[in-house]
Chain A
């Protein structure tokens, strides 16, 4: 496991006093209640918290999938709060990568086509050497011609991971990527994400509620009621479980 880096100078993304409010009047929910956090380049960060803690909202706001009510969000040096839908789309396409919990792949496209999708949308082709490296890393070389329906859940998530990596994004966002997988497939996917960080220097921000998954991260951030309440560097599964128990209790 690589040593955690904590230099503030090399920040891939950060939020400053970010607030996200849903609803109006009496039914107001403060999903994010003043979150300020940096995500270091080349680090694997896990965001944890009970249901409704705001962890997914934080990820969505960071990734430009959702807008913040107040505060600032930066990807690298780019403040994304004021970007148009079109700019946000291009930002996601060119600078970010995504792995969602389910439904990551376009059913009509083969695995290979899904992997190349963001590049093709940009009118570009993948660098063949890099594509080969990524495909080899996720262990899908013999599955490239298959459509999603012909792949197992674990394979589908690995295709999604390969797609997220193929553009060499500044940050890979993963939203409960193992949420719908059995333990073996989860382990395979997490091993791949870990390798991406260690071997390719990939920055990863992952939301999860699985302590085993979070334990593969360099750093774990705990959210509760829209606020950061705890943070651990290179914790073990046990450490995380303890922290979660405190939050839950």
Chain B
């Protein structure tokens, strides 16, 4: 039986390949994700390990809680601590270091803002060994208030060399010019995980970074013969309670974990897309094997008649599936290496630059590829294989059994029940905000219900969608008949496309609603005329001095800066916004429910009504909030508010309170209103003029801000849809496969048609229209489902800021039409094959 199965495969190499490719694409996504993740992790691990090479123990502030967004700048400590550490026996060298914000400008005055990575200003270690893998590639170390050394990548990309002058912008605001004296490398790497780096001597760094007399951390090197743990213990003994000493291993471990956490979002997202692709691929396999089993009914019956046991037949079909699965896994593994490169490019496109290094192919990746490829193929082939064993031996003597036309009752009942439960749940989720559970379960039930009932929908859909095609002539008429001929086959072929399109359309609905919500917030909650933000999405903010500069302009009414941070309340992390109570109400409407925003004092806070209710607070209560650097502080609840859509934070504090507890000094946004009688464009012009020295500040009126936010959403949507496009591509491969098998099955019929006068062109048209019809069915179902699910998802995300549900019309229509038209591409090969049918062999009775 084994031989029979393998011979069957060898005879159909092309189909085998086509089927395998569908799974291989999904597998390649899984492998690609793993390879990229492993590669990035390995790269960063090595980078951080090298960086900390010469440092045995690090002294730093003990954070109250660690949270990825606040890991950047630890709370500073006085510089005299360095001397105390240096005196500890066993310390060979100890040096204070400081890190802050320094944005370099290129030679034309534009900010050098890397995507995703920070722009760092640091102190340059005098002790070479404490510098770790940092080495001077050219020039010398910076010394004195006017000198800087920069990372090799920035130097290379922007044409800087020692001897040049370079302009740098700091947190404090005004740019300053420096003499570039050195270029720094990091072992083999030209930069530190994509960050730009400007290094000064310690005194200059403290000065320009706005923290004179302070250091962030102290790097310590041990004398020979003393272990890091021993030294750590000794140093810890002389430190105040809010500082800690940690070994090199701890620091490297933390950095590595942070990288992994940062990557996990993308890894999860990519694996999600891989899952969609595999689901679609699974459909394709299931369909292919179903058709094969149906076509080989006679062969199987004959084998049964001559004594093959059911189990042997099952084994034969599954053997074929195993071969397909293995081939798919191997192909996918190879493709995955290419895909990882593609994904890296994709990350770079959204601003996350990944250093290049050797691709990491771990055994886990190989195992995953094999398991996924083989697993999906086997599961998908199981039902068709089992069906093969149900062929009665007597069928061998009859004409090839035609597949049953009626749906099994179980399927109809189950599908109907799921729809009956899913559709009301979806409607309920669409009717109200934040009904996530109903949206999720309703979507799932409706989706599966639709797929189960799809064969029953094929005939009516073919009748409607095929009407214009049938009018084109006999070829169109035949195409319509053929599409409706085996509803289950048509349905499962179309279903693959439905899955992809549902997701694409749903994403589009959510994105459109997201954009509409931004616009709505601006209309409803925003009272400012101008919104100032850093011109790169990835930049941490703009210098506070920019806001100061605007306050004196006659055209300006009020200037209200905002900052953000994370705090913990009763163990839960939440966002906190810092505002200027004196001006905040004039630029934003946050829906104050109790108390007064303008009366908010330092040492007080406001919370959303929901938060206050959740924690059982009354106005005037003293509440303990935990800040990452400064730990627990008790603040008085001054009032509550309802609208978080503009601020996006559950808590409000004043800017002085913020500065006491956070080391960040950049404004995330600055809202500006016009003075009475000043037209918007005059205000904008004067603000832009005033900020000529702040090249990284984007000055936008609400319309521009709206458009910029919309563009960001669109970019993200484009990215997601490009990834989902893979699933659509696989579904089209499915159409190719099904058509090719159908053509094979209809050889005699095609021959007959050719004999009685169907031209080759008509044959091709017939197959083409059939493909278009199948694709159209999948597209229409997908669009309808996508709209429903997208609406429910958008409503469910009301709490995440999607306050407006807006259903796009044009885009889904375009998707549906393009999806259907793609059927033309899918039909090329099968149509060519059909047109080449040997008339004579087809019509001569065997």
* Residues of chain A whose beta carbon lies under 8 Å from any beta carbon of chain B: 56, 60, 65-66, 85-86, 89-90, 92-94, 98, 100-109, 117-118, 120-123, 163, 175-176, 179-180
Contact = CB atoms under 8 A, between A and B. Distances in A.
Contact of A163 (B474, B477, B756): B756
Nearest to B482: A108
Contacts of B759: 86, 89-90, 93, 121
Given A65-B843, A66-B840, A176-B845, A123 B756 contact: no
A176 B760 CA distance: 26
A90 B757 contact: yes
A117 B474 contact: yes
A180 B399 CA distance: 14
Contact of B845 (A85, A90, A98, A103): A103
Contacts of A120: 473-474, 477
Given A106-B752, A109-B481, A179 B758 contact: no
B844 A117 contact: no
B845 A101 contact: yes
Given A120-B474, A121-B758, A107 B843 contact: no
B275 interface: no
A17 to B, nearest CB: 22
14 contacts: A90-B757, A92-B755, A92-B757, A98-B755, A100-B843, A103-B845, A106-B749, A106-B752, A107-B749, A120-B473, A121-B475, A121-B753, A121-B757, A180-B845
B756 A93 contact: yes
Given A103-B748, A108-B482, A122 B757 contact: yes
Interface string B811-846: 000000000000000000000000000011001110
A65 B839 contact: yes
B762 interface: yes
Nearest to B472: A123
Given A86-B760, A108-B485, A120-B477, A65 B845 contact: no
Interface string B453-482: 000000000000000000001110110011
A109 B840 CA distance: 22
A210 to B, nearest CB: 15
Contacts of A106: 478, 749, 752-753
A120 B478 CA distance: 11
A67 B228 CA distance: 91
A77 B350 CA distance: 72
B300 interface: no
Interface residues of B, number: 26
B754 interface: yes
Nearest to A56: B844
Contacts of B754: 89
Nearest to B485: A108
A56 B845 CA distance: 11
A121 B474 contact: yes
Nearest to A120: B474
Contact of A89 (B474, B482, B757, B845): B757
A101 B474 CA distance: 24
B845 A108 contact: no
Interface string B744-780: 0000110011111111111000000000000000000
B487 to A, nearest CB: 13
A103 B750 CA distance: 11
B845 A117 contact: no
Q: Top 5 A-B pairs ranked by shortest CB distance? A: A93-B757, A108-B481, A120-B474, A101-B845, A118-B757
A89 B755 CA distance: 7
Contacts of A117: 474, 753, 756
Contacts of B473: 120, 123
A87 B351 CA distance: 61
A103 B752 contact: yes
Nearest to B839: A65
A13 to B, nearest CB: 17
A60 B840 CA distance: 8
A144 B477 CA distance: 18
B742 to A, nearest CB: 12
B506 to A, nearest CB: 35
Contacts of B752: 100, 103-106
Contacts of A105: 752
Contact of B756 (A60, A98, A102, A179): A98
Contacts of A98: 755-756, 843
A178 to B, nearest CB: 12
Contacts of A107: 749
Contacts of B478: 106, 108-109
Contacts of B481: 108-109
A123 B474 CA distance: 7
Given A92-B757, A121-B759, 4 more contacts: A89-B754, A103-B749, A108-B485, A175-B844
Nearest to A63: B755
Contacts of A104: 752
B755 A85 contact: no
Contacts of A92: 755-757
A65 B755 contact: yes
A27 B756 CA distance: 32
A9 B749 CA distance: 38
Contact of A65 (B482, B749, B762, B840): B840
Contacts of B760: 85-86, 89
Nearest to A100: B843
Nearest to B846: A102
Contacts of B477: 120
A179 B845 contact: yes
Contacts of B482: 108
Nearest to A123: B473
Nearest to B748: A103
B315 to A, nearest CB: 33
Nearest to B763: A89
A103 B843 contact: yes
A111 B481 CA distance: 14
A104 B839 CA distance: 13
Contacts of A103: 748-749, 752, 843, 845
Nearest to A104: B752
Contacts of B839: 65
A109 B478 CA distance: 8
A94 B757 contact: yes
A163 B481 CA distance: 19
A175 B840 CA distance: 12
Contacts of B758: 89, 93, 121
B831 to A, nearest CB: 16
A103 B839 CA distance: 13
Nearest to B753: A106
A167 B754 CA distance: 16
A112 to B, nearest CB: 13
A121 B840 contact: no
A227 to B, nearest CB: 22
Nearest to B751: A103
Contacts of A176: 845
B380 to A, nearest CB: 28
Nearest to A109: B481
A109 B746 CA distance: 14
Nearest to A107: B749
Contact of A118 (B748, B756, B843): B756
A163 B758 CA distance: 14
Contact of A121 (B485, B748, B749, B762): B762
A24 B482 CA distance: 39
Interface in B473-500: 473-475, 477-478, 481-482, 485
Nearest to A163: B756
B638 to A, nearest CB: 77
A93 to B, nearest CB: 2
Contacts of B485: 108
Kindly name the residue among A101, A105, A118 whose own CB sees the greatest number of chain B CB atoms within 10 A: A118
B252 to A, nearest CB: 69
A85 B835 CA distance: 11
A221 B834 CA distance: 36
B474 A100 contact: no
B243 to A, nearest CB: 83
